[in-house]
Amino acid sequence: MILERLKGLKIKFEELGEQINDPKVIGDMQKFVRLNKEYKNLEGIIDAYKKYKNLLDNIDDAKRVLNHEKDDELREMAKAELDELTQQVGPMEEEIKLLLLPKDPDDEKNAIVEIRGGTGGDEASIFAGDLVRMYLKFCEKQNWKVEVTHYSEGTSGGYKEFVFEVRGNNVYGIMKYESGVHRVQRVPQTETQGRVHTSAATVAVLPEAEDFEIDVKQEDIRKDTYCSSGPGGQSVNTTYSAIRLTHIPTGVVVTCQDQKSQIKNLDKAMKELKTRLYNIEYQKHIDAIASKRKTMVSTGDRSAKIRTYNYPQGRVTDHRIGLTLYNLPSILDGNIADILNQLQIAENAERLKENEIA
């Protein structure tokens, strides 16, 4: 029963409140951060519990008046109040069911986003550039902070590869739905016959690893330095400020060259390396989820075709949930919130079925 589960969580919430004020816990930063995050995650559920319990108490009061009061006018008022309160129970319970779903602890994290041109040659790089612009615009609308880590420009425009870090509230929880293959159908700039071509770009959204989550041994890392380069390979500066880190056990390689300072580039490269290593393990968890989900929402399958952008029809179709919108220019201008909301609704519906909260 929902009420019993909420009562149990209220007890846990109170215990966590005592623990995070314990000097021993405060002295253990890793434990303090974990418990404090758990405490904050429960705040919304506890608020909902208070409202739900208050609603049930008011219903009991109205029933009491209806069953024991002799005054017809008071009974009529109680009946009207009971009808109104009873209508609120269903929607409130649905809201609580969503709150009771197990949260992905990575949802609240910052994210690293990498966009790469796929099949389609120069047109794929140009399309990757369109996606970069779309996401940067979206991040701007969300008031998130963006830092570019690395990019490689295409020969005819756009980007062969573009990697950036996003910081803000619930970044990964929102952006995770974008991982996968994005397909574009349009007449390329280089097409002389006016034929529509299909190209693709891949997007990977990775939850940023926190320092206490993964321990990387320095002896497992090979560090190389080189001069930063710009379009066409021209040297941007003459100092060896660009950094390439190779994790020898896994072969994972990251580069960072956007800062003039080698120290700053090293710091950003190390952060990205930890994130990629963390995501090797995280992907195993995601794959296990994918086997249960019909829509493959937020499963991080980078080989799955998730969305098509059709220019002749001005159409965008998300294949996971069968959503089609005819506002392509607006979406490419960063207005993707509606799509992400629909994806989240679809995922929540599946998770409710999985958990069968009664």
Residue 109 sits in a domain whose CATH number is 3.30.70.1660
Q: Are strands 159-167 and 242-247 parallel, antiparallel or unpaired?
A: unpaired
> What's the alpha-carbon Rg for the chain, to the nearest Å?
26
| This model's pTM is above 0.85 | no
Query: Considering the domain boundaries, does residue 63 fall inside one?
Result: yes
Distance between CA 151 and CA 89 in Å, rounded?
A: 52
| pLDDT value of position 282 | 66
Residue 355 lies inside a defined structural domain of this protein: no
Q: In terms of domains, do 215 and 315 share one?
A: yes
Q: Report the amino acid identity of residue 264.
A: K
**Statement to judge: residues 73 and 148 lie in one domain:** no
The residues of the chain scoring below 50 in pLDDT are 231-237, 357-358
Is the domain of 227 the same as that of 306? Answer: yes
Give helix then strand counts, H and E, for the chain: 9, 11
Q: Tell me: the pLDDT tens digits for 78-123?
A: 999 999 999 999 999 888 888 887 777 788 889 989 999 987 788 9
Q: What is the pLDDT of residue 232?
A: 42
Strand order, beta sheet including 159-167:
145-153, 159-167, 111-117, 197-207, 180-186, 305-310, 315-318, 323-325
Please check whether residues 197 and 305 belong to one and the same domain.
Answer: yes
Domain count within the chain: 2
Torsion over CA: 275, 278, 280, 282 (sign): negative
Q: Which residue has the tokens 């623990």?
A: 19
Do residues 9 and 157 share a domain? no
pLDDT digits (tens, 9 = 90+) for 142-193: 999 999 988 899 988 999 999 999 999 999 999 999 998 999 999 987 676 7
Is residue 241 exposed (0-12), middle (13-18) or buried (19+ Cβ within 10 Å)? buried
Domain residues for the domain of 94 are 2-100
**In this structure, are residues 240 and 225 in contact, taking their beta carbons and an 8 Å threshold?**
yes
